[in-house]
Protein backbone atom coordinates (compact mmCIF):
# COMPACT_ATOMS: atom_id res chain seq x y z
CA UNK A 1 0.00 0.00 0.00
CA UNK A 2 1.55 3.30 -1.14
CA UNK A 3 1.97 6.10 1.34
CA UNK A 4 0.63 9.52 0.40
CA UNK A 5 1.88 12.53 2.34
CA UNK A 6 -0.87 14.67 3.89
CA UNK A 7 -2.08 17.47 1.68
CA UNK A 8 -1.11 20.94 2.99
CA UNK A 9 -3.91 23.04 4.38
CA UNK A 10 -5.41 25.90 2.42
CA UNK A 11 -3.66 28.42 4.66
CA UNK A 12 -0.31 26.72 4.09
CA UNK A 13 -0.81 26.77 0.31
CA UNK A 14 -1.96 30.41 0.23
CA UNK A 15 0.89 32.75 -0.87
CA UNK A 16 1.81 35.20 1.85
CA UNK A 17 2.36 38.00 -0.67
CA UNK A 18 -1.21 37.58 -1.93
CA UNK A 19 -2.56 37.63 1.60
CA UNK A 20 -0.59 40.81 2.35
CA UNK A 21 -1.77 42.59 -0.81
CA UNK A 22 -5.36 41.47 -0.27
CA UNK A 23 -5.28 42.77 3.30
CA UNK A 24 -3.76 46.05 2.09
CA UNK A 25 -6.46 46.52 -0.57
CA UNK A 26 -9.24 45.79 1.94
CA UNK A 27 -7.81 48.29 4.43
CA UNK A 28 -7.37 50.97 1.75
CA UNK A 29 -10.90 50.40 0.42
CA UNK A 30 -12.32 50.62 3.93
CA UNK A 31 -10.39 53.84 4.54
CA UNK A 32 -11.69 55.32 1.29
CA UNK A 33 -15.30 54.50 2.04
CA UNK A 34 -15.02 55.71 5.62
CA UNK A 35 -13.65 59.12 4.62
CA UNK A 36 -16.04 61.55 2.91
CA UNK A 37 -13.30 63.23 0.90
CA UNK A 38 -11.83 59.97 -0.36
CA UNK A 39 -15.29 58.54 -1.07
CA UNK A 40 -16.16 61.54 -3.24
CA UNK A 41 -12.92 61.24 -5.17
CA UNK A 42 -13.46 57.51 -5.60
CA UNK A 43 -16.93 58.05 -7.11
CA UNK A 44 -15.60 60.59 -9.60
CA UNK A 45 -12.45 58.74 -10.63
CA UNK A 46 -14.04 55.26 -10.81
CA UNK A 47 -16.25 56.55 -13.63
CA UNK A 48 -13.19 56.13 -15.86
CA UNK A 49 -12.79 52.40 -15.16
CA UNK A 50 -15.00 51.36 -18.07
CA UNK A 51 -13.05 53.61 -20.47
CA UNK A 52 -9.76 52.17 -19.24
CA UNK A 53 -10.97 48.59 -19.63
CA UNK A 54 -12.58 49.32 -23.02
CA UNK A 55 -9.43 50.90 -24.48
CA UNK A 56 -7.23 48.12 -23.09
CA UNK A 57 -9.47 45.23 -24.18
CA UNK A 58 -9.99 46.47 -27.75
CA UNK A 59 -6.33 47.39 -28.20
CA UNK A 60 -5.09 44.10 -26.75
CA UNK A 61 -7.35 41.94 -28.93
CA UNK A 62 -6.32 43.89 -32.04
CA UNK A 63 -2.63 43.76 -31.02
CA UNK A 64 -2.86 39.99 -30.46
CA UNK A 65 -4.30 39.41 -33.93
CA UNK A 66 -1.76 41.73 -35.58
CA UNK A 67 1.06 40.26 -33.50
CA UNK A 68 0.15 36.73 -34.60
CA UNK A 69 0.22 37.80 -38.25
CA UNK A 70 3.62 39.43 -37.78
CA UNK A 71 4.93 36.35 -35.93
CA UNK A 72 3.83 34.08 -38.78
CA UNK A 73 5.65 36.38 -41.18
CA UNK A 74 8.73 36.25 -38.92
CA UNK A 75 8.75 32.46 -39.10
CA UNK A 76 7.89 32.29 -42.80
CA UNK A 77 10.07 30.41 -45.28
CA UNK A 78 9.99 33.47 -47.56
CA UNK A 79 12.85 35.83 -46.81
CA UNK A 80 10.98 38.96 -47.93
CA UNK A 81 8.25 38.35 -45.34
CA UNK A 82 10.80 37.61 -42.62
CA UNK A 83 12.78 40.77 -43.33
CA UNK A 84 9.66 42.97 -43.51
CA UNK A 85 8.31 41.56 -40.23
CA UNK A 86 11.68 41.97 -38.49
CA UNK A 87 11.89 45.57 -39.73
CA UNK A 88 8.41 46.25 -38.30
CA UNK A 89 9.20 44.69 -34.91
CA UNK A 90 12.55 46.41 -34.43
CA UNK A 91 11.20 49.78 -35.57
CA UNK A 92 8.13 49.79 -33.34
CA UNK A 93 9.92 48.41 -30.27
CA UNK A 94 12.49 51.20 -30.50
CA UNK A 95 9.93 54.00 -30.03
CA UNK A 96 8.60 54.88 -26.54
CA UNK A 97 4.87 54.31 -26.14
CA UNK A 98 4.12 57.94 -25.24
CA UNK A 99 6.04 59.26 -28.27
CA UNK A 100 4.25 56.82 -30.56
CA UNK A 101 0.92 57.79 -29.01
CA UNK A 102 1.53 61.44 -29.88
CA UNK A 103 2.76 60.46 -33.35
CA UNK A 104 -0.38 58.49 -34.15
CA UNK A 105 -2.66 61.13 -32.63
CA UNK A 106 -1.20 64.19 -34.32
CA UNK A 107 0.67 62.88 -37.39
CA UNK A 108 -0.65 59.50 -38.51
CA UNK A 109 -4.25 60.31 -37.55
CA UNK A 110 -4.61 63.36 -39.83
CA UNK A 111 -2.69 61.50 -42.55
CA UNK A 112 -5.19 58.63 -42.37
CA UNK A 113 -8.05 61.12 -42.73
CA UNK A 114 -6.44 62.56 -45.87
CA UNK A 115 -5.87 59.05 -47.22
CA UNK A 116 -9.50 58.12 -46.54
CA UNK A 117 -10.80 61.15 -48.44
CA UNK A 118 -8.43 60.40 -51.34
CA UNK A 119 -9.33 56.69 -51.60
CA UNK A 120 -13.07 57.36 -51.46
CA UNK A 121 -12.93 60.57 -53.50
CA UNK A 122 -15.44 59.40 -56.13
CA UNK A 123 -18.07 58.02 -53.67
CA UNK A 124 -17.73 61.28 -51.70
CA UNK A 125 -18.10 63.36 -54.87
CA UNK A 126 -21.18 61.38 -55.90
CA UNK A 127 -22.71 61.88 -52.47
CA UNK A 128 -22.60 58.22 -51.46
CA UNK A 129 -20.25 58.92 -48.54
CA UNK A 130 -19.49 61.93 -46.40
CA UNK A 131 -16.19 63.75 -46.22
CA UNK A 132 -14.15 62.79 -43.17
CA UNK A 133 -12.48 65.48 -41.07
CA UNK A 134 -9.80 65.22 -38.42
CA UNK A 135 -12.45 65.88 -35.76
CA UNK A 136 -14.33 62.76 -36.89
CA UNK A 137 -11.35 60.60 -35.91
CA UNK A 138 -11.98 60.34 -32.18
CA UNK A 139 -9.01 60.45 -29.82
CA UNK A 140 -10.15 57.22 -28.18
CA UNK A 141 -9.67 55.37 -31.47
CA UNK A 142 -6.36 57.10 -32.08
CA UNK A 143 -5.20 55.89 -28.66
CA UNK A 144 -6.43 52.37 -29.40
CA UNK A 145 -4.61 52.38 -32.75
CA UNK A 146 -1.37 53.53 -31.10
CA UNK A 147 -1.52 50.90 -28.34
CA UNK A 148 -2.39 48.22 -30.90
CA UNK A 149 0.63 48.94 -33.08
CA UNK A 150 3.01 49.36 -30.12
CA UNK A 151 2.06 46.14 -28.36
CA UNK A 152 1.73 44.08 -31.55
CA UNK A 153 5.51 44.22 -31.94
CA UNK A 154 6.07 42.78 -28.46
CA UNK A 155 3.29 40.21 -28.81
CA UNK A 156 4.74 39.12 -32.16
CA UNK A 157 7.96 38.16 -30.40
CA UNK A 158 5.99 36.22 -27.79
CA UNK A 159 4.18 34.27 -30.50
CA UNK A 160 7.41 33.68 -32.41
CA UNK A 161 9.11 32.26 -29.30
CA UNK A 162 6.14 29.97 -28.66
CA UNK A 163 6.01 28.74 -32.26
CA UNK A 164 9.75 28.06 -32.39
CA UNK A 165 9.59 26.22 -29.04
CA UNK A 166 7.64 23.41 -30.73
CA UNK A 167 10.03 20.76 -31.99
CA UNK A 168 10.55 20.67 -35.74
CA UNK A 169 10.27 16.89 -35.62
CA UNK A 170 6.63 17.15 -34.54
CA UNK A 171 5.88 19.50 -37.40
CA UNK A 172 7.56 17.20 -39.92
CA UNK A 173 5.68 14.20 -38.52
CA UNK A 174 2.37 16.05 -38.88
CA UNK A 175 3.22 17.02 -42.45
CA UNK A 176 4.15 13.43 -43.27
CA UNK A 177 0.69 12.32 -42.10
CA UNK A 178 -0.86 14.53 -44.76
CA UNK A 179 -1.82 17.56 -42.66
CA UNK A 180 -1.82 20.88 -44.46
CA UNK A 181 0.18 23.83 -43.13
CA UNK A 182 -2.97 25.34 -41.65
CA UNK A 183 -3.98 22.06 -39.98
CA UNK A 184 -0.45 21.58 -38.69
CA UNK A 185 -0.50 25.06 -37.15
CA UNK A 186 -3.99 24.66 -35.68
CA UNK A 187 -3.68 21.09 -34.36
CA UNK A 188 0.01 20.68 -33.52
CA UNK A 189 1.84 23.98 -33.14
CA UNK A 190 -0.68 26.34 -31.54
CA UNK A 191 -1.91 24.02 -28.73
CA UNK A 192 1.66 23.50 -27.55
CA UNK A 193 2.76 27.09 -28.14
CA UNK A 194 -0.18 28.34 -26.06
CA UNK A 195 1.37 26.94 -22.87
CA UNK A 196 4.55 28.90 -23.58
CA UNK A 197 2.98 32.19 -24.63
CA UNK A 198 0.21 32.45 -22.01
CA UNK A 199 2.32 33.82 -19.10
CA UNK A 200 4.11 36.58 -21.08
CA UNK A 201 0.89 37.35 -22.97
CA UNK A 202 -0.89 37.84 -19.64
CA UNK A 203 1.95 40.05 -18.44
CA UNK A 204 1.59 42.20 -21.56
CA UNK A 205 -2.12 42.59 -20.88
CA UNK A 206 -1.38 43.77 -17.34
CA UNK A 207 1.29 46.12 -18.71
CA UNK A 208 -1.20 47.53 -21.22
CA UNK A 209 -3.64 48.28 -18.38
CA UNK A 210 -0.94 50.46 -16.83
CA UNK A 211 0.20 51.99 -20.14
CA UNK A 212 -3.40 52.89 -20.94
CA UNK A 213 -2.92 55.70 -18.41
CA UNK A 214 -0.86 57.42 -21.11
CA UNK A 215 -3.99 58.01 -23.19
CA UNK A 216 -4.97 60.65 -20.64
CA UNK A 217 -2.39 62.87 -22.39
CA UNK A 218 -4.87 62.99 -25.31
CA UNK A 219 -7.77 63.95 -23.07
CA UNK A 220 -9.37 60.49 -23.06
CA UNK A 221 -11.60 60.25 -19.98
CA UNK A 222 -9.94 57.26 -18.31
CA UNK A 223 -9.05 56.83 -14.65
CA UNK A 224 -5.92 58.99 -14.83
CA UNK A 225 -7.54 61.82 -16.78
CA UNK A 226 -10.56 62.06 -14.45
CA UNK A 227 -8.22 62.03 -11.46
CA UNK A 228 -6.05 64.73 -12.99
CA UNK A 229 -9.05 66.96 -13.67
CA UNK A 230 -10.35 66.54 -10.12
CA UNK A 231 -6.96 67.18 -8.54
CA UNK A 232 -6.39 70.27 -10.69
CA UNK A 233 -9.70 71.75 -9.61
CA UNK A 234 -9.61 70.80 -5.93
CA UNK A 235 -5.83 70.70 -5.30
CA UNK A 236 -6.33 67.37 -3.52
CA UNK A 237 -3.38 65.74 -5.27
CA UNK A 238 -2.37 63.46 -2.40
CA UNK A 239 -5.86 62.00 -1.92
CA UNK A 240 -6.65 61.78 -5.63
CA UNK A 241 -3.52 59.94 -6.68
CA UNK A 242 -3.87 57.57 -3.74
CA UNK A 243 -7.27 56.59 -5.14
CA UNK A 244 -5.87 56.30 -8.68
CA UNK A 245 -3.05 54.03 -7.48
CA UNK A 246 -5.56 51.91 -5.56
CA UNK A 247 -7.77 51.43 -8.65
CA UNK A 248 -4.88 50.46 -10.92
CA UNK A 249 -3.45 48.11 -8.31
CA UNK A 250 -6.83 46.42 -7.91
CA UNK A 251 -7.17 45.95 -11.68
CA UNK A 252 -3.64 44.63 -12.21
CA UNK A 253 -3.68 42.25 -9.23
CA UNK A 254 -7.06 40.84 -10.30
CA UNK A 255 -5.84 40.24 -13.85
CA UNK A 256 -2.56 38.72 -12.63
CA UNK A 257 -4.52 36.24 -10.49
CA UNK A 258 -6.70 35.38 -13.49
CA UNK A 259 -3.61 34.65 -15.59
CA UNK A 260 -2.16 32.47 -12.82
CA UNK A 261 -5.44 30.56 -12.61
CA UNK A 262 -5.37 29.93 -16.37
CA UNK A 263 -1.78 28.70 -16.14
CA UNK A 264 -2.72 26.33 -13.33
CA UNK A 265 -5.76 25.06 -15.23
CA UNK A 266 -3.64 24.34 -18.32
CA UNK A 267 -1.00 22.56 -16.25
CA UNK A 268 -3.68 20.46 -14.54
CA UNK A 269 -5.16 19.58 -17.92
CA UNK A 270 -1.73 18.42 -19.17
CA UNK A 271 -1.28 16.14 -16.15
CA UNK A 272 -4.74 14.62 -16.55
Domain spanning 50-215, CATH class = mainly alpha
* One-character DSSP codes across the chain: ----PPPPPHHHHS-HHHHHHHHHHHHHHHHHHHSHHHHHHHHHHGGGHHHHHHHHHHHHHHHHHHHHHHHHHHT-S-HHHHHHHHHHHHHHHTS-HHHHHHHIIIIIHHHHHHHHHHHTHHHHHTTSSPPP-GGGS-HHHHHHHHHHHHHHHHHHHHHHHHHHHS-HHHHHHHHHTT--HHHHIIIIIHHHHHHHHHHHHHHHHHHHHHHGGGGGGGT--SHHHHHHHHHHHH--HHHHHHHHHHHHHHHHHHHHHHHHHHHHHHHHHHH-
pTM of the model: 0.86
pLDDT, residue 1, reads 46
- pLDDT means per 10 residues in the chain (272 residues)? 57 73 86 89 92 94 95 90 94 93 93 90 85 87 95 93 81 76 78 82 91 91 93 91 92 87 75 62
187 vs 97: CA distance, rounded Å? 35
What are the sequence ranges of the domains in the chain? 50-215
243 vs 230: CA distance, rounded Å? 12
pLDDT, residue 272, reads 60
pLDDT, residue 228, reads 93
Amino acid sequence: MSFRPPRPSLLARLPWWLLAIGLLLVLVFWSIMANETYAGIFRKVSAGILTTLWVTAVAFVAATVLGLVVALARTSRFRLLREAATFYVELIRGIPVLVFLFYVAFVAGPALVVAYNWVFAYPIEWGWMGTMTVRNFDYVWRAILALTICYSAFIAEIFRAGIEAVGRGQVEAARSLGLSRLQCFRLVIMPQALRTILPPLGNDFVAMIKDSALVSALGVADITQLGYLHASGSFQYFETYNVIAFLYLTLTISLSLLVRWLETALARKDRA
